[in-house]
Every structure is written in C-alpha cells, then in structure tokens.
Amino acid sequence: MTRVAFIGLGRMGHGMAGRYLAAGFTVTLWNRSKAKAEDLIARGAQWATSPEHAAIDADAVVTMVADDEASRAVWLGPNGAAKTAKAGAIAIECSTVSYDHAREMGRELKARGLIYIDCPVTGLPDAAAAGKLTLLAGADSADLERARPFLEPIGTTIRHFGAVGSGTVYKLINNLMGAIQIAGLAEGLAIAEQAGLDMNLVLESIQAGVAASPQVQRHSKRMVARDFSGATFTAALRHKDAAYAVKLAESLLA
C-alpha cells in the first residue's frame, strides 16, 4: 500500500493528514506533540518518534510546519526525514517558507535523490479537513505529474507557477496582500468607531463595497462584533510571512 509520511499537525496539517487516511494511504505521523495525533492514530495512522522514523519506506513525505527553521529541522536536522527517505520519494513542502529556503531545500533534497515539490497552500482549516485547499506549486512539470496522486487528496485546485520556489513566491504575495487588507480594515473600523458612525451601517457598507474581498467580509463581521474567538491564523505567523515577502521584494531590487 502507498505510504505517506506527514510531518506537522497544526491547524492546517491535522486536517491534511486526515485526508490521506480518508484516501486509503498508509500514513505515518510526526509532530512535536503526540497529543495532536491521537485522534488520527485512532483512525489508523501510525506514530513515528521522529521525522527520520516517519520517512522510512515512505513514497511521499509531506511537511506542514511553521517556518524556515522548523522546515530545515524536520528535513535536514539530526533526526530529519532526508536521512531515511528513499531515493525517488516525493518531498512535498506545504509550509509557508521563504523563497531562498524553498530553493535551497529543492537543491538539498534533489541532491539526496528526492523529488522536491514546492507546494504551499491557501485555504482555512475547514478546507484542509475537507480536502478543498488550493495548492500553489513550484516544480518541474514531470515531477509535478508524479506528485499529483499525493496532491489530489488535499486540494481541489493545483496552480503550477513554474520552477521550484515560484509557488512560494505567489504564497508570500498572497499573504502579504492579506496582511495589508486586515491591517487596513482594522484601521478603517477604528476611525469609524472613534468618529461615532453607526457600526452596523459601516459593516453593511463594507460588505457591499469594492474592497469587500472574502477576507475583508469575514474579518469585518468579527471585528465589528468584537469576536476574536476561534482564530485560524496567529499574528506571529502573519508577521513571519510578511517579513518573508518583504525580504523577497528587497532581493528583487538588488
């Protein structure tokens, strides 16, 4: 049976790992905290003691971790997946990392005989659990086709931007625009509130206006209601992604 190693069971990774179980793959999991894997283990997943252990005999290794540092650790660290991943295995990096890191991982893992797919995703945790993410791929076309059976369980749309790193370029652009939208929305609502406007009318106007992206529509309702529960993305991760995007932009001016 086809085996997938899945590394990183945060808000997004947990649902994504569940999709591989639902699709009938043999799934081996690793996460810093085993508690986040317990329900998946109950569904038939196997637990690994390290990324190195998880990658043994895997046909594909999928990672969904926080940043460059975490990605490097789970792939190339002392107990990294690259130590045991078999030649020809597909290495799918779904984490949002920096452009330089994505390209470096592509070189490092290719040198170890792996097929590297730069594949950050867009979508909320409920989309991850339903297998309805959008996958932003950077890879050789032939490599992407080989990886497709491992991508289809987690996403309904695969957008191929070009070579390794190009998927990450678009993901950073996407998240930078999102951060700017949310910051602008918060500033605008604060001004409206301080000016004494009817906030329900402000919300109605935002929802019907030209700036009403899906993200603005979703967050404007929560901000006006002062509902900050159930956050799906931390401020720390949003700041990290924006910093990676700024670093990319600055590198293009060099």
- The mean pLDDT of 86-95, rounded to a whole number, is 99
The CA distance from 127 to 233, in Å, is 14
Determine the pLDDT at residue 232.
84
The CATH homologous superfamily to which domain 170-253 belongs is: N-(1-d-carboxylethyl)-l-norvaline Dehydrogenase; domain 2 (1.10.1040.10)
Determine the pLDDT at residue 231.
84
Bridge-based pairing state of the strands 133-138 and 121-122: antiparallel
Q: Which residue has the tokens 């899906």?
A: 214
- pLDDT exceeding 70 applies to what percent of the chain? 100
pLDDT in tens, 194-204: 999 999 999 99
Cβ atoms of 182 and 235 within 8 Å: the answer is no
Active-site entry in 83, 110, 171, 221: 171
Determine the pLDDT at residue 56.
99
The CA distance from 25 to 31, in Å, is 18
Residue 86 per-residue DSSP state: P
Question: For the chain, what are the domain ranges?
Answer: 3-163, 170-253
pLDDT in tens, 112-152: 999 999 999 999 999 999 999 999 999 999 999 999 999 99
pLDDT in tens, 144-175: 999 999 999 999 999 999 999 999 999 999 99
Do 3-163 and 170-253 share a fold? no
Please, which residues bridge with residue 26 across strands?
Answer: 3
Bridge-based pairing state of the strands 60-63 and 3-7: parallel
Rama region for 227: left / alpha / beta (φ>0; ψ in -120 to 50; rest) = beta
Query: Quick check: is 171 catalytic?
Result: yes
Determine the pLDDT at residue 105.
99
Q: Where residue 179 falls among pLDDT bands split at 50, 70, 90?
A: very high
Determine the pLDDT at residue 230.
84
What lies within 8 Å, CB to CB, of 114 at 6+ separation is 61, 82, 85, 87, 88, 89, 90, 91
**What global pTM score does this model have?**
0.95
Tell me how far the alpha carbon of residue 152 is from its chain's centroid.
15
Determine the pLDDT at residue 5.
99
What lies within 8 Å, CB to CB, of 133 at 6+ separation is 16, 121, 122, 123, 127, 154, 155, 156, 157
pLDDT in tens, 32-89: 999 999 999 999 999 999 999 999 999 999 999 999 999 999 999 999 999 999 999 9
Residue 1 has pLDDT above 90, yes or no: no
Nearest to 166 by CA among 75, 102, 237: 102
The CA distance from 185 to 219, in Å, is 8
Cβ atoms of 202 and 224 within 8 Å: the answer is yes
Sign, Cα dihedral of 216, 102, 247, 64: positive
pLDDT in tens, 200-250: 999 999 999 999 999 999 999 999 999 999 888 999 999 999 999 999 999
Taking residue 234's Cβ as centre, other Cβ atoms within 10 Å add up to: 12
CATH topology for 3-163 is Rossmann fold (3.40.50)
